[in-house]
């Protein structure tokens, strides 16, 4: 059974999906299952294996689905004595369950394979991201133009989500030609679960993009997902400096930072 679970995990990651592996790490006294028992929970709500059934398993399933969403592991501790006190059973023992989110590799998709896109791909790869390039201009979407990229999608932006699984581990960086490219391409991307959607450009360009998106019927809540102008304010000028600004913002948001200078922080 365990070998089958690990094979399923490998298949899940290959498809770019998420899951949570729930393992009993400690059991004392009378419990439905013992240490080493495992249950694999899929993001669609299905699961295989068991940690004991009943109310205990129901609570673990709830925690597993939250772990898939927030990406954080958790150690759950339960007494199995008195349901009147909130315990999930009456067996009399204690059990601990470790819930480990199984997440696909973090991926950066650079949409727009020009000078800035190339610099972003280079830095993102150095930082350990899986990197993809997408551009409707096929000459900008090749290994020769962007040798750091792992995948290439020479398709219109509006069609990108048909060709690649855009999930919570995906960061979309639009280093595109202008609002005329972004306005028809962004609505479909806003329907995905991307962790980050950033658009390069000036505030004037962004205002034009917002106007076009609203005219296309995109509501304010979806538009608010977009970071534009993207990046931290570094007064960046070169493509390489702009790439640092963009990736710095992504790392800050991912890790819960605030972007302040370390030397100016309080003790």
> 98 with 149, same domain?
no
pLDDT class for 14, splitting at 50, 70, 90?
Answer: confident
CA atoms within a 13 Å half-sphere pointing along the CA-CB vector of 86:
3
pLDDT at position 144: 93
pLDDT at position 4: 87
| 33 membership: H or E segment, kind and range | none
For residue 106, the 8-state DSSP code is P
> 89 with 197, same domain?
no
pLDDT at position 106: 92
What percentage of the chain has pLDDT greater than the value 90?
69
Instruction: Give the tens place of pLDDT for each residue, 40-50.
Output: 999 888 999 88
> 116 with 186, same domain?
yes
The per-residue b/e assignment along 37-47, b for 16 or more CB within 10 angstroms, e otherwise, is: bbbbbbbeeeb
pLDDT at position 150: 95
Q: Say if 266 falls within a structural domain.
A: no
> 128 with 243, same domain?
yes
Q: Say if 260 falls within a structural domain.
A: no
> 40 with 167, same domain?
no
pLDDT class for 181, splitting at 50, 70, 90?
Answer: very high
Q: Say if 31 falls within a structural domain.
A: yes
> 250 with 150, same domain?
yes
**Global pTM?**
0.82
pLDDT at position 78: 80
Picking from 116, 110, 259, the residue whose alpha carbon sits closest to that of residue 197 is: 110
pLDDT at position 84: 54
- The DSSP string of 36-75 is T-EEEEETTS-EEE-SSSHHHHHHHHHHHHHHHHH---EE
Q: Say if 264 falls within a structural domain.
A: no
β-bridge mates for residue 38, sequence order: 23
Q: How many CB atoms lie within 10 A of CB 213?
A: 22
Instruction: Give the tens place of pLDDT for each residue, 198-218.
Output: 999 999 999 999 999 999 999
Range with lowest mean pLDDT among 48-52, 102-106, 233-237, 244-248: 48-52
Most distant pair of Cα atoms in the chain: their distance: 68
Chosen domain end from 102, 133, 154: 102
Alpha carbons 182 and 40: distance in angstroms, whole number: 39
Tell whether the model's pLDDT for residue 19 goes beyond 70. yes
| 7 membership: H or E segment, kind and range | helix 2-14
Tell whether the model's pLDDT for residue 197 goes beyond 60. yes
Q: Say if 267 falls within a structural domain.
A: no
Q: Say if 169 falls within a structural domain.
A: yes
> 180 with 48, same domain?
no
What percentage of the chain has pLDDT greater than the value 70?
92
Tell whether the model's pLDDT for residue 33 goes beyond 80. no
> 90 with 31, same domain?
yes
> 189 with 210, same domain?
yes
Structural domains in the chain (count): 2
Q: Say if 263 falls within a structural domain.
A: no
pLDDT at position 108: 97
Instruction: Give the tens place of pLDDT for each residue, 72-108.
Output: 999 998 876 555 554 455 566 788 899 999 998 899 9
Q: Say if 222 falls within a structural domain.
A: yes
> 207 with 117, same domain?
yes
Please report, for the domain that includes residue 191, its CATH number: 3.40.50.720
For residue 152, the 8-state DSSP code is E
Chosen domain end from 102, 134, 157: 102
Higher pLDDT, 168 or 267: 168
> 238 with 118, same domain?
yes
> 161 with 51, same domain?
no
pLDDT at position 186: 97
Segments forming the whole domain that contains residue 202: 107-255
Chosen domain end from 87, 102, 117: 102
């Amino acid at each position: 059974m365990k070998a089958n679970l690990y094979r399923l995990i490998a298949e899940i990651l290959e498809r770019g999906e998420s899951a949570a592996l729930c393992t009993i790490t400690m059991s004392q006294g009378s419990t439905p299952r013992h240490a080493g028992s495992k249950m694999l929970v899929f993001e669609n709500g299905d699961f295989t294996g068991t940690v004991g059934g009943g109310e205990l398993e129901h609570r673990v399933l709830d925690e597993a689905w939250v772990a898939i969403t927030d990406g954080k592991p958790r150690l759950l501790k339960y007494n199995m004595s008195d349901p009147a006190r909130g315990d999930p059973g009456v067996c009399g023992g204690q059990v601990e369950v470790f819930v480990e989110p199984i997440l696909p590799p973090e991926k950066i998709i650079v949409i727009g394979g020009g000078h800035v896109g190339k610099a972003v791909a280079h830095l993102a790869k150095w930082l350990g991201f899986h990197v993809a390039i997408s551009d409707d201009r096929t000459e900008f979407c090749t290994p020769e133009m962007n040798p750091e990229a792992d995948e290439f999608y020479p398709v219109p932006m509006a069609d990108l989500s048909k060709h690649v699984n855009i999930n919570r581990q995906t960061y979309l960086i639009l280093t595109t030609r202008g609002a005329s490219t972004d306005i028809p391409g962004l609505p479909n991307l806003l329907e995905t679960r991307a962790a980050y959607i950033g658009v390069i450009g000036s505030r004037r360009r962004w205002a034009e993009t917002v106007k076009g998106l609203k005219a296309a019927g995109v509501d304010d809540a979806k538009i608010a997902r977009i970071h534009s102008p993207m990046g931290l304010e570094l007064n960046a000028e070169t493509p390489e400096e702009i790439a640092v600004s963009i990736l710095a913002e992504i790392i800050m948001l991912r890790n819960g930072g605030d972007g302040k200078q370390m030397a100016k922080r309080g003790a």
